Amino acid sequence: MAAKEHIAWFKSTFFDELEAATAGTVFDPDMLCALAFQETGELWGTLRKKGLPKEEIVRLCCGDTLDAPNRSAFPKTRGHLEAAARGDEMFQIARKALLDMAAHIPGYNFAFNRADKFCHGFGVFQYDIQFFKVNPDYFLNREYEKFEATLHHAMVELKSCQRKRDLQNRSSITDFEFLTIAITYNTGRFRTSRGLKQGHESGGKFYGEHMRDYLAIARRIPDPDHQGPVPAADGAAIIERPAAANAQGPWMHVDTLTTSLRLRSQPKISSPTTKNVLADMPDGWPVRAFTGTPQNGFIELEVEMGGTVFHGFSSATFLKDGKAPVVLPQVARGAIPAAHMPRKDGSVTKRTQNANAHGLNEAGMPGRVGDTPDALREELENIVAYLNPAKEAHKRYWPRAGLTFCNIYAHDYCALAGCYLPRVWWTSDALHAIGAGETVLPRYGHTIREMRANDIFRWLGTYGGDFGWRRVATTTELQHNANLGAVALIIARRKNDGKSGHVSMVVPEGTEGLARRLSNGTVSAPLQSQAGSRNFNYSAGKTDWWKDTRFADAAMWVHN
């Protein structure tokens, strides 16, 4: 709660300056709020509660007193600093900055008894004293005491880190890409193999993981001018914003007449053929090429599906010239209500009973009400522990007589987490009646029917967006959203529609388990929880199980 309160204060106090500084860049005020809290939040979070003016709070934001052997950059010690040109003058400024701050921050009381200690980080965004040799005026003139100056240097450094990450030509970046820039800001580089587990570690989390959570908290706080998007309500996560489209070539459309067209991560057919498939695009679907020139018989393109832009390659044979997509008329959001199996008053559906079409309704079930990533992750862990599909006594999820219940576990997990994934759905006739404005009551076998994994796969593609689901393109993005406390899943549809598809929940990493990653940091197998032919609470499972040749198509979805 303290982090949210502090970040809300910072955002409301400095929003105008942050908005002006980030205008025309890939950065935004929320990103800078997260960075400021990570760098000096422990200082200004305490100082603001003492009622100091904001100008005084900014002036006092200096810290970091680690010397050699814990510091290798210049200056390693007081003597190292004083040996530099005007270093003795710089030491006196750095020493005074430390004592001024320590007078208000109890954790720095040691400074009064250790005469060689001095600050190494200056300003709200912590410009390090190692840059004294190349930019002495900033330190000697105490420019860091002004918010505009420390903000300016932060933006200069962020843009430099943006170039280091080879993102300088982008018109926008994802939150995850910003986190890689922030890690570079802190450490000087980003090592892809380590993901967000980089930078200083504290409280069991690394700098990158703290930044992930602080950014999510900042995104929950409304902009003071209320011009930004409406933040998520308590009990819902802030999910990663999808990457923007970059293709500027000709519009085309899929032209297969009978089947879908595969979008691949490389301009070739893999072995097995499903290995490099990113998505299947329906016949007639609009796509946009980068150049329209075939490469090895494939065209590089982007396509929007389920609220996410996919980037890959498809066979030029089945792509024809087209026009910009036309938005088809749709039934207004919310016009089709969620469907639920009606129950008799007082009846209870339990985990220990064999599965049926009813949702779970035991007393004392856990849910999601948190407003921070830490709280949301813990609540999802509580849901897994409660449902406990690995417990044989929970017959609702346990395989029997050739039947498996991945769809029911996924439904229950989502229901407890506060999002809708249907256990039953309206029949075609019922949907027509609803579309005509009629009130339709749920009647089993008449107006509603049970949903298997294959049915849920199709439902997500057709109705998922109306109920808050968004498709994602990669397992890395999927796991990242789960780690933010979002609901995430992988679902695959069988080629033989009479046989069971499969759906597996992707859950936050933590003490219960970790995803598997390749040497470049890409998630090869997310951390999952499932019922099915094999039930488990936590496991990375089989890598790329959803690309098995038994499946006709697969997709990954998230819900905040």
Check if the beta carbon of residue 343 is closer than 8 Å to that of residue 473: no
Check if the beta carbon of residue 529 is closer than 8 Å to that of residue 384: yes
Specify the DSSP class assigned to residue 328.
Answer: P
Q: Which two tokens stand for residue 399?
A: 């395989």
Collapsed DSSP state (helix, strand, coil) of residue 155: helix
pLDDT (mean) for 75-83? 97
Backbone angles phi, psi at 440, to 5 degrees: -115, 130
Residue 334, pLDDT score: 56
Residue 93, pLDDT score: 98
Q: Which two tokens stand for residue 323?
A: 């026009």
Checking if the pLDDT of 290 tops 70, the result is: yes
Checking if the pLDDT of 327 tops 80, the result is: no
Q: Residues 157, 161, 163, 166: what is their CA dihedral angle, to the nearest 10 degrees?
A: -170
Residue 226, pLDDT score: 67
Give the CATH architecture of domain 373-559: Alpha-Beta Complex (3.90)
Name 268's Cβ contacts closer than 8 Å, sequence gap at least 6.
276, 296, 298, 313
Model confidence band, residue 1 (pLDDT cutoffs 50, 70, 90): low
Let me know how long the chain is.
560
pLDDT in tens, 392-416: 999 999 999 999 999 999 999 999 9
Model confidence band, residue 325 (pLDDT cutoffs 50, 70, 90): confident
Residue 498, pLDDT score: 87
Task: Please name which of 477, 473, 479, 476 lies closest in space to residue 504, comparing C-alpha atoms.
Answer: 479
152 CB burial (10 A radius; 0-12, 13-18, 19+):
middle
Cα angle, residue 17 at apex, residues 13 and 23 outer, rounded to 5° = 135
Report the alpha-carbon distance of residue 151 to residue 360 in Å, rounded. 51
Residue 330, pLDDT score: 52
pLDDT in tens, 140-189: 999 999 999 999 999 999 999 999 999 999 989 999 999 999 999 999 99
CA distances from 158 to 31, 114, 153, 161 (A): 11, 34, 8, 5
Checking if the pLDDT of 281 tops 90, the result is: yes
Residue 329, pLDDT score: 57
Collapsed DSSP state (helix, strand, coil) of residue 331: coil
Average pLDDT, the chain: 95
Encode 121-133 in three state secondary structure: EECCCCEEHHHHH
Report the alpha-carbon distance of residue 449 to residue 452 in Å, rounded. 10
pLDDT in tens, 435-484: 999 999 999 999 999 999 999 999 999 999 999 999 999 999 999 999 99
Residue 332, pLDDT score: 52
Checking if the pLDDT of 244 tops 90, the result is: no
Segment holding 90, helix H or strand E: helix 87-102
Check if the beta carbon of residue 373 is closer than 8 Å to that of residue 215: no
Rg (CA), the chain: 27
Check if the beta carbon of residue 305 is closer than 8 Å to that of residue 279: yes
What is the C-alpha end-to-end distance of the chain, expressed in Å? 20
Model confidence band, residue 323 (pLDDT cutoffs 50, 70, 90): confident
Q: Which two tokens stand for residue 516?
A: 């598997």
Report the alpha-carbon distance of residue 336 to residue 560 in Å, rounded. 20
Q: Domain spans of the chain?
A: 2-220, 251-321, 373-559
Checking if the pLDDT of 536 tops 90, the result is: yes
Report the alpha-carbon distance of residue 330 to residue 435 in Å, rounded. 10
pLDDT (mean) for 239-247? 86
Residue 477, pLDDT score: 96
Report the alpha-carbon distance of residue 81 to residue 129 in Å, rounded. 9
Report the alpha-carbon distance of residue 320 to residue 251 in Å, rounded. 9
Residue 7, pLDDT score: 97
Model confidence band, residue 243 (pLDDT cutoffs 50, 70, 90): confident
Cis amide prior to 75 (ω within 30 degrees): yes
pLDDT (mean) for 240-268? 92
Report the alpha-carbon distance of residue 295 to residue 417 in Å, rounded. 45
* Look-up of token digits 């008449």: 446
Check if the beta carbon of residue 316 is closer than 8 Å to that of residue 348: no
CATH number of 251-321: 2.30.30.40
Backbone angles phi, psi at 73, to 5 degrees: -80, 160
Checking if the pLDDT of 228 tops 80, the result is: no
Give the residue with greater pLDDT, 35 vs 230. 35
